[in-house]
Amino acid sequence: MTTPLLEVDGLTKKFGGLTALNKVTFSIYPGEIVALIGPNGSGKTTLLHNLMGILTPTAGEITFKGQDITGNHPWDIVRRGLVGTFQVVKPFRNLPCIMNVMVASLVTRKKWGEWTKRMETRAMDALEFVGIGDMALERAAVLSHGDLKRLEIARAIATEPALMLLDEPFGGLNPAETELIANSIRRLHKGGRFGRLHSEEISMVIVEHKLADLMRIVDRVIVLNFGEVLTIGSPEMVVNDPKVIKAYIGKEVVFHAS
Ligand SMILES: Nc1ncnc2c1ncn2[C@@H]1O[C@H](COP(=O)(O)OP(=O)(O)OP(=O)(O)O)[C@@H](O)[C@H]1O
Ligand SMILES: [Mg+2]
């Protein structure tokens, strides 16, 4: 059997008296696209932030490429090939878009001698990949919400990760903008060379509430509920699982595209 790229074992995160994650255990395999779903407040963002090193777990272990990364610094985790995007995007608003992307890839440069020029080219390739190359020299502050979401993905792509964690990449977007980002995700996953950027067998974990859009692009689904794994399975299995339907009862959710 293939060795997992990421193994999460008994991950627990407490905020004071609140247990936001309780003994969460799952694996992600090379090349997989996995959806991470669950009602509001079920712990999805908290889980991603623990994997990214932004939060330190209270208990449990995170293993990436066979090495224990529990509690490591975010920049160390990015350098190893695990990168995440933020649900609430916070670009450097006064910096040009291209600088926003370059800052992100600074931590992954292989050695001090890596030329700024090369980083700039890679950043430009990432912007072009998500379709906002023409905005490279504009300040991030002038971008629409949809373009900011694309900038966020460009920042992640420029680090050439093995595993990308996307927190609500379609959040607040209209159907046309959603389709643009979904297309970028599909193209990236297919792999290949995009200018100076290289992507091969990239794995992704995508958090989204727009489940109908999401179910079309994922291989497996992990469902969180009250900080615990409710179930893990194929999209068909999960959307028909009575436990999952019950967890979402009373919430506005569309599992199937109309
Ligand atoms: N820094 C924090 N301090 C205290 N409690 C927190 C903190 N971050 C998250 N929480 C709590 O942890 C729980 C999980 O929140 P989280 O943001 O991970 O949920 P989510 O599944 O991402 O929700 P949404 O779908 O609304 O984005 C919630 O009860 C939230 O209030
Ligand atoms: Mg969240």
Q: What is the model's pLDDT at position 87?
A: 87
**Does residue 257 register a pLDDT over 60?**
no
Burial per residue of 162-186, b for 16 or more beta-carbon CB atoms within 10 angstroms, e otherwise: bbbbbbbbbbebeeebbebbbebbe
Closest protein CA for atom 2 of ligand 1: 15
Percent of the chain with pLDDT over 90: 69
Q: Average pLDDT, stretch 20-38?
A: 97
Q: In this predicted model, what pLDDT tens digit does every residue of 147-186 receive, in sequence order?
A: 999 999 999 999 989 999 999 999 888 999 999 888 888 8
Cα radius of gyration rounded to whole Å, the chain: 18
**Does residue 111 register a pLDDT over 90?**
no
Lowest mean pLDDT of 22-36, 140-154, 189-203, name the range. Answer: 189-203
Q: Which of 42, 87, 209, 214 to mutate to test the pocket of ligand 1 (most atoms within 8 A of CB)?
A: 42
Q: Checking DSSP bridges between strand 59-64 and strand 67-68, what pairing results, if any?
A: antiparallel
Q: Which ligand does the CA of 21 lie closest to?
A: 1
Cβ of 44 closer than 6 Å to ligand 1, yes or no, is yes
CB 201 within 8 A of CB 191: yes
Q: Average pLDDT, stretch 186-199?
A: 81
Distance separating alpha carbons of residues 27 and 98, to the nearest angstrom: 34
Distance separating alpha carbons of residues 115 and 126, to the nearest angstrom: 17
Q: In this structure, how many other beta carbons lie within 10 angstroms of the beta carbon of residue 97?
A: 30
DSSP E strand stretches across 3-152: 6-15, 18-28, 33-37, 59-64, 67-68, 82-84
Closest protein CA for atom 1 of ligand 1: 15
Lowest mean pLDDT of 121-125, 202-206, 252-256, name the range. Answer: 252-256
Distance separating alpha carbons of residues 7 and 23, to the nearest angstrom: 13
Q: From ligand 2's centre to the CA of 211, what distance in Å?
A: 14
Q: From ligand 2's centre to the CA of 44, what distance in Å?
A: 5
Our separate counts of H helices and E strands in the chain read 9, 12
* Tokens linked to 132: 């906002």
Q: Which ligand does the CA of 40 lie closest to?
A: 1
For residue 87, the ligand 1 atom closest to its alpha carbon is 27
Q: Average pLDDT, stretch 182-196?
A: 84
pTM for the whole thing? 0.92
Q: What is the model's pLDDT at position 210?
A: 85
Q: What is the model's pLDDT at position 107?
A: 74
Q: What is the model's pLDDT at position 119?
A: 84
- Model confidence at 253, pLDDT cuts 50, 70, 90, reads low
- Model confidence at 212, pLDDT cuts 50, 70, 90, reads confident
Percent of the chain with pLDDT over 70: 93
Domains of the chain: 6-90+161-248 (3.40.50.300)
Q: From ligand 2's centre to the CA of 88, what distance in Å?
A: 9
Closest protein CA for atom 18 of ligand 1: 43
Q: From ligand 2's centre to the CA of 167, what distance in Å?
A: 7
Q: What is the model's pLDDT at position 3?
A: 93
Q: From ligand 1's centre to the CA of 21, what distance in Å?
A: 10
Distance separating alpha carbons of residues 107 and 28, to the nearest angstrom: 24
Q: What is the model's pLDDT at position 250?
A: 64
Q: From ligand 2's centre to the CA of 237, what distance in Å?
A: 23
